[in-house]
Chain A
């Protein structure tokens, strides 16, 4: 075996050279077609892991290849730099989040450079930099002006340990906080929301414009939006209070034998106040509200409920049916009230059997079989022929639905409606290390947006953390106290910060003109570069980040800032890096760090292994032998080529030398 090639010397030599020559600097030019390749920017945790190496190596091959193919390639990198770990570190070690974050960024930037990635570092951005978050705040103000940002009281997921509100998506497993694993509770708080539901239809429809996205991801997005067509029927209490009910099976309305309210439904209190039911219902509701979200939506949930003592009137047949409260109905879906048709819905049937509520067949199977409500074992949820259903008796389900919807609308008993599972985006976080929401509260004028020329609302960096983790903004009088931009009187600032997903919903636009001082980004440059031709990242972002980025792009288009409908033309979701069959993790002790591989074999071997071991979408199993094999291959190439280097140096370059006889 000959000498091993000196990768340390070679890699540092060329990294320095590329840096000094600014080889990867990109400017807009019209003589070449543009190509924008982007990898999802990392959270600056302090250390690069193999998943990052994989993500960025894939992007780098694409960037270098496209450049050699004659494209003008934009390949930027930055930092998704706000978020909770910085606060946890602050509580633990007493280091201010900003200091901790910037130190991590410096470390990770060196690690990225050590991999020889072809980024245009002049375009680096960090979402925690005031030059960035002032524009995040500016976007918030535009949303506010257009009515797309609003404040509302709502039952939110609350992590008692992190002391913060969590989005539904941050509640994982059996209702645990994604960050710390604590069981999540519900709480009522005034919160800021973005009206993403205004765009539900377009977000759904435009998935069809994305043939370059994996089907799997599009399906997840479709399910998350969860569009369903049905009818909202106006039930009412005996006292005449309306109880709107959304159903996609309005053909079964004659089979409704009881009505169920979500425990959070505002009518619950009114119906039971001062009655013998008040106390037991309150206890029951409190118990349910302690349950977490995932449990309550699980099919395995043991259905529990309680009669409220009140009755509702079915507007179709004026039947008086009992009103119950139950754990399986959620305020977040539909109207928070459900007409229960136990004969034709499995959950309703289980509940009806448990509490001995009547079961009435209103759809019979088409095969002639005759179902009986008393003996029914399993709900008949399929299509069939309507029976005992007034105007639609005798009709097959599809026709029955049409006719019933017409009938309900004609009689003014309700109306056709499209319902979405997607809810408005809760963006308030009771955290410190995020972009402050640019709002001021004045006793006189109410909610007042911070004037654009006063942006950014700086996050005070010299703060002390309490061990409880509560936001220091609440105790910083310097931050809190201000004057009202409208009347000049004493006023206070909003202390909530924005969900970090807000910051990452527009970063790909900022890369097109990262140092722009007067605008959110340069419109012409965004026009030149957008949309992203190839986006690469983990499938764990399939729903939230990608949905929010699509939403922002559409809103900014409607504001006139971009002309594209979609931000990412093609999407590649790379697989995980596994070792011994499991995802690398500290707790499993199966971690190989990029640093050890780079120092032992060099960055080229690390890259080659990671690209060679598996196609990008698939999971990759770590193999020390395969790393060794890639290293041997590069040494072989080295010996082969350098063995003739001196002879070949002398020879002129024959550009048109025929290769056909090789």
Chain B
């Protein structure tokens, strides 16, 4: 599951490779099928629900109607299109990361993935590299920067 979510997410987000993203979903359906076949006697229903839930979320951008119908049928409130995209556990990858919000004068101007507990100076430096943040700071003076660890960084500018 984890692998499929990661693959679909990255294929869409980084490369717009919808074809390989869909392949990964198809692969996932095969795996779910095999799992059900192999444990027919004692199916873990809560697990199956979670798996189906994620499968439907992954399908939602591509095939919005059938996803919405299945979402309702497995006991969720519509709309599937207002749900958050499933997360995936990055544990397999080197370090844990968090998404930090970057604000300029209190307004959200960007988000960035950073390692958990990143140093304040590094956080500021990385935030200032975001294109949209640059756009909102250009020609202005940074008065101060407030960092809430693992959550947000706010630049006060004038």
Give A contacts to B, CB under 8 Å. Answer: 5, 7, 10-11, 13-15, 17-18, 21, 23, 30-33, 58, 60-62, 64-65, 67-70, 116, 118, 564, 569, 572, 602-605, 607-608, 611-616, 633-634, 636-638, 640-642, 644-645, 647-654, 657, 659-662
Residues of A within 8 A of B63 (CB): 604-605, 607-608, 634
Residues of A within 8 A of B110 (CB): 33
Most buried by B among A31, A70, A615, A652: A615
In angstroms, Cα B46 to Cα A659, docked, is 11
Task: List 15 A-B residue pairs with CB atoms under 8 Å apart, sorted by A's residue number.
Answer: A10-B69, A14-B68, A64-B61, A64-B81, A602-B65, A604-B63, A608-B62, A633-B29, A636-B29, A637-B59, A637-B66, A637-B70, A641-B52, A662-B2, A662-B47
Given known A-B contacts A67-B81, A611-B22, A648 and B1 have beta carbons under 8 A apart: no
In angstroms, Cα B73 to Cα A661, docked, is 25
Instruction: Kindly report which residue of chain B lies nearest to residue A11, judged by CB atoms.
Output: B65
Given known A-B contacts A612-B22, A654-B46, A641 and B56 have beta carbons under 8 A apart: yes
In angstroms, Cα B76 to Cα A615, docked, is 32
Minimum Cβ distance to chain A for residue B140 (Å): 13
In angstroms, Cα B21 to Cα A64, docked, is 15
Most buried by A among B2, B16, B47: B16
Residues of B within 8 A of A634 (CB): 63, 66
In angstroms, Cα B89 to Cα A634, docked, is 27
Given known A-B contacts A616-B16, A641-B52, A7 and B65 have beta carbons under 8 A apart: yes
Are A648 and B75 in contact, CB atoms less than 8 angstroms apart? yes
Residues of A within 8 A of B1 (CB): 659, 662
The B1-22 residues at the A interface (CB cut-off 8 A) are 1-2, 12-13, 16-19, 22
Residue from A14, A636, A649 in contact with B64 in the complex, judged by beta carbons closer than 8 Å: A14
Is B149 located at the chain interface by the 8 A CB criterion?
no
Is B95 located at the chain interface by the 8 A CB criterion?
no
Q: Mark B134-145, 1 if CB is under 8 A from A, else 0.
A: 010000000000
In angstroms, Cα B54 to Cα A305, docked, is 74
Minimum Cβ distance to chain A for residue B56 (Å): 7
In angstroms, Cα B111 to Cα A471, docked, is 54
Instruction: Kindly report which residue of chain A lies nearest to residue B73, judged by CB atoms.
Output: A645
Extra inter-chain contacts (17) besides given A17-B79, A64-B60, CB under 8 Å = A15-B65, A61-B61, A67-B81, A68-B81, A68-B85, A69-B85, A70-B84, A70-B111, A569-B131, A604-B62, A604-B63, A604-B65, A607-B62, A615-B16, A616-B16, A659-B50, A659-B54
Residues of B within 8 A of A662 (CB): 1-2, 35, 47, 51
Given known A-B contacts A637-B29, A641-B74, A651-B49, A659 and B19 have beta carbons under 8 A apart: no
Minimum Cβ distance to chain A for residue B98 (Å): 14
Are A611 and B62 in contact, CB atoms less than 8 angstroms apart? yes
In angstroms, Cα B108 to Cα A31, docked, is 6
Given known A-B contacts A23-B82, A68-B84, A640-B32, A648 and B89 have beta carbons under 8 A apart: no
Minimum Cβ distance to chain A for residue B13 (Å): 7
Q: Mark B111-135, 1 if CB is under 8 A from A, else 0.
A: 1000000000000000000011001
Is B57 located at the chain interface by the 8 A CB criterion?
yes
Count of interface residues, chain B, beta-carbon cutoff 8 Å:
60
In angstroms, Cα B122 to Cα A270, docked, is 73
Instruction: Kindly report which residue of chain B lies nearest to residue A117, judged by CB atoms.
Output: B64
Are A616 and B18 in contact, CB atoms less than 8 angstroms apart? yes
Are A657 and B62 in contact, CB atoms less than 8 angstroms apart? no
Residues of B within 8 A of A68 (CB): 57, 60-61, 81, 83-85
In angstroms, Cα B81 to Cα A17, docked, is 12
Is B93 located at the chain interface by the 8 A CB criterion?
no
In angstroms, Cα B68 to Cα A641, docked, is 12
Is B146 located at the chain interface by the 8 A CB criterion?
no
In angstroms, Cα B58 to Cα A608, docked, is 13
Residues of B within 8 A of A651 (CB): 45-46, 49, 75
Residue from B12, B76, B84 in contact with A653 in the complex, judged by beta carbons closer than 8 Å: B76
In angstroms, Cα B31 to Cα A143, docked, is 61
Instruction: Kindly report which residue of chain A lies nearest to residue B47, judged by CB atoms.
Output: A662
Given known A-B contacts A611-B18, A633-B26, A641-B70, A657 and B50 have beta carbons under 8 A apart: yes
List 6 A-B pairs, minimum CB-CB distance, nearest first.
A604-B63, A64-B61, A649-B75, A68-B85, A611-B18, A645-B73
In angstroms, Cα B70 to Cα A636, docked, is 12
Most buried by A among B19, B61, B70, B135: B61
Residues of A within 8 A of B131 (CB): 569
Most buried by B among A612, A613, A614, A633: A612
Residues of A within 8 A of B74 (CB): 641, 644-645, 648-649
Instruction: Kindly report which residue of chain A lies nearest to residue B80, judged by CB atoms.
Output: A68
Are B66 and A60 in contact, CB atoms less than 8 angstroms apart? no
Minimum Cβ distance to chain B for residue A65 (Å): 5
Are B16 and A33 in contact, CB atoms less than 8 angstroms apart? no
Is B33 located at the chain interface by the 8 A CB criterion?
yes
Residues of B within 8 A of A642 (CB): 70, 73
Residues of A within 8 A of B12 (CB): 61-62, 65
Are B16 and A572 in contact, CB atoms less than 8 angstroms apart? yes
Instruction: Kindly report which residue of chain A lies nearest to residue B60, judged by CB atoms.
Output: A64
Are A604 and B64 in contact, CB atoms less than 8 angstroms apart? yes
Minimum Cβ distance to chain B for residue A444 (Å): 48
In angstroms, Cα B23 to Cα A641, docked, is 18
Is B100 located at the chain interface by the 8 A CB criterion?
no
In angstroms, Cα B12 to Cα A70, docked, is 15
Residue from B69, B75, B107, B132 in contact with A30 in the complex, judged by beta carbons closer than 8 Å: B107
Are B13 and A65 in contact, CB atoms less than 8 angstroms apart? yes
In angstroms, Cα B46 to Cα A205, docked, is 58
Instruction: Kindly report which residue of chain A lies nearest to residue B12, judged by CB atoms.
Output: A65
In angstroms, Cα B25 to Cα A101, docked, is 41
In angstroms, Cα B47 to Cα A30, docked, is 37
Residue from B48, B59, B62, B64 in contact with A644 in the complex, judged by beta carbons closer than 8 Å: B48
Residues of B within 8 A of A638 (CB): 66, 70
Minimum Cβ distance to chain A for residue B1 (Å): 5
Is B55 located at the chain interface by the 8 A CB criterion?
yes
Instruction: Kindly report which residue of chain A lies nearest to residue B86, judged by CB atoms.
Output: A68
Minimum Cβ distance to chain A for residue B38 (Å): 13
In angstroms, Cα B17 to Cα A603, docked, is 20
